[in-house]
Structure 1
Amino acid sequence: MRKIGLIGGMSWVSTELYYRRINTKVQQACGHDFSAPMVIESLDFNGLIRTTDKPAWSEAAEIISSAAKRVEQAGATAILIAANSMHKVYDEVVDAVSIPVLHIADAVGARMKADGVTSAALIGTRNVMTEPWYRQRLIEHGVSLLPPDMDRVEELDRIIYDELMKGIVRRDAERTLKTFITNIDKTGVKAVVLGCTELNLIVDVNANILPIYDSTTIHADAGVDWILGAD
């Protein structure tokens, strides 16, 4: 098996989800005595949370690129950045290392293309929902996207940053997401993309009125494919 590098801490909640998913899938493939060869660089999210202006994003790129270099030096043969929003600095991270960095939106887009899904709504943090760098990746895989609903953006940002990233799961948040998805279904799109690595805590991925593409599990599974040499 190949060793993979996981850049986490953004938040620790999603890092835990990645670690569990990757090891569960490796055990399913190889047997219960196996676990995934992995290097984890868990960053202090306090220096990265709610990054907004250009200087702050430049600093974020530097922090994550430095982390990528460290996991490469520790023997990782590919890298996962365990946060959708931090893929905004993906190009800078790629330039900093000589090993592949597996883009979360490419993993989701490839899965949707394989399933024949051509339209979806993207929900997540503000920068994921409203900026082109993430949306364009999905579009390149043949997926047309519903325009972002700004009222939905505000409420999702609050739930993600004030609750989910702190490990807080509230029934009110579950009801809010259920309402959002019900309203999205009325638009005629064929799927929903969870573009935040903690949203699966309040969305039932396997039992919903629309197919749910959970970026966390799909990205983690791409990491498993790399570990097992199935890329």
Structure 2
Amino acid sequence: MKHIGIAAVTAEGAAITYKYICSASEQVFGKHTHPEISIHGFSFSEHMNFGPERLKKWQDLLVRSINKLEATGAQLVICPSNTPHEVYEQVCKKINIPWLNIADEVAKVAEQKQYKKILLLGTQFTFNSAVYPNAFEHLAAEIVIPTDEEQVLVHSLIVDELVSGVVSESAKQAMQGLLSKYAQQGVDSVILGCTELPLIIDEALTQLAILDSTKILGDAAIKAATN
């Protein structure tokens, strides 16, 4: 098995992904067995640079984090945070180990499931970036983006609550209402394009099929670790 590196951005996203890889690996390798895993993360405050230099800052942080993971022996890396994938191509040019792209992995599953009209949820940076449009450009599927007001709501729930592990009933109700609205408009599935969203969105909350980027990335990492 290959050594998996996790370039952490938020504690919640990294923890959920780590726990999922360990538990899901048992279905592949046997009880209590999983690949070697190393995690590195700078203070989340370092990633909270939302000014004009944010992309340069994110790129620098990811390169440094991945290099540290490589130094521990990691042979492949994942970043369980959708937003920083905006600098994926730039970072890949500066690292020596493969980085699995979370959006590409989600697109593969969406294609296999033949979803046609897919709602995207995430931070405003993810809504406004080309991360998911680029990943889905070869598919016959429509990506649906929430209204500006809904984007602000989802972003604030993520940044103000979920990244700190805060799970409120009001947040669940807000998401349930939003998902119900889009289900009535013909959407067949939803991308949880933020690795903390599974804290408040699951099959019990919505009739939509869920593309959980956290679990999908974890499954891809397990598969890559076996090759």
Bin the TM-score by the shorter chain.
over 0.9
Aligned residues: 227
Q: 1:33 to 1:216 in 2, by over 3 A?
A: closer
- 2:180 counterpart residue number: 182
- 2:157 counterpart residue number: 159
Distance 1:96 1:206 in 2: 42
Deviation at 1:228, TM superposition (A): 2.1
Amino acid at match of 2:11: W
Q: 1:33 to 1:195 in 2, by over 3 A?
A: closer
Q: Could you say what the CA RMSD is over the residues aligned between the two structures, in angstroms?
A: 1.5
Distance 1:83 1:33 in 2: 26
Give the secondary-structure state (helix, strand or coil) at the position aligned to 1:40.
strand
Q: 1:77 to 1:206 in 2, by over 3 A?
A: farther
Of the three residues 95, 98, 102, the one matched with 1:97 is 95
Q: 1:100 to 1:223 in 2, by over 3 A?
A: same
Is 1:37 the counterpart of 2:29? The answer is no
Deviation at 1:156, TM superposition (A): 0.6
Counterpart contact for 2:106–2:216, Cα < 8 Å: yes
Distance 1:189 1:18 in 2: 27
Give the secondary-structure state (helix, strand or coil) at the position aligned to 1:120.
strand
Deviation at 1:52, TM superposition (A): 2.9
- 1:73 counterpart residue number: 71
Bigger shift: residues 163-172 or 205-214? 205-214
Deviation at 1:22, TM superposition (A): 0.4
Deviation at 1:54, TM superposition (A): 3.4
After superposition, the C-alpha distances for 1:145-182 in whole angstroms (9 at most, x for unaligned) are 11331111011111101100111000110011110100
Deviation at 1:212, TM superposition (A): 0.9
Counterpart contact for 2:176–2:205, Cα < 8 Å: no
- 1:3 counterpart residue number: 3
Q: 1:222 to 1:98 in 2, by over 3 A?
A: same
Q: 1:216 to 1:206 in 2, by over 3 A?
A: farther
Distance 2:131 2:195 in 1: 17
- 2:114 counterpart residue number: 116
Distance 1:110 1:141 in 2: 9
The normalised TM-score by structure 2 is: 0.95
After superposition, the C-alpha distances for 1:1-35 in whole angstroms (9 at most, x for unaligned) are 11111001x21011110110001111221112313
Amino acid at match of 2:109: R
Divergent runs of 4+, >6 A: none
Amino acid at match of 1:16: A
1:45-56 pair list within 5 angstroms: 45-49=44-48, 51-56=49-54
Counterpart contact for 1:109–1:143, Cα < 8 Å: no
- 1:200 counterpart residue number: 198
Determine what percentage of the aligned residue pairs are the same residue: 25
Distance 1:187 1:130 in 2: 22
Counterpart contact for 1:128–1:135, Cα < 8 Å: no
Q: 1:201 to 1:145 in 2, by over 3 A?
A: same
Distance 2:130 2:175 in 1: 23
Deviation at 1:207, TM superposition (A): 6.0
Give the secondary-structure state (helix, strand or coil) at the position aligned to 1:114.
helix
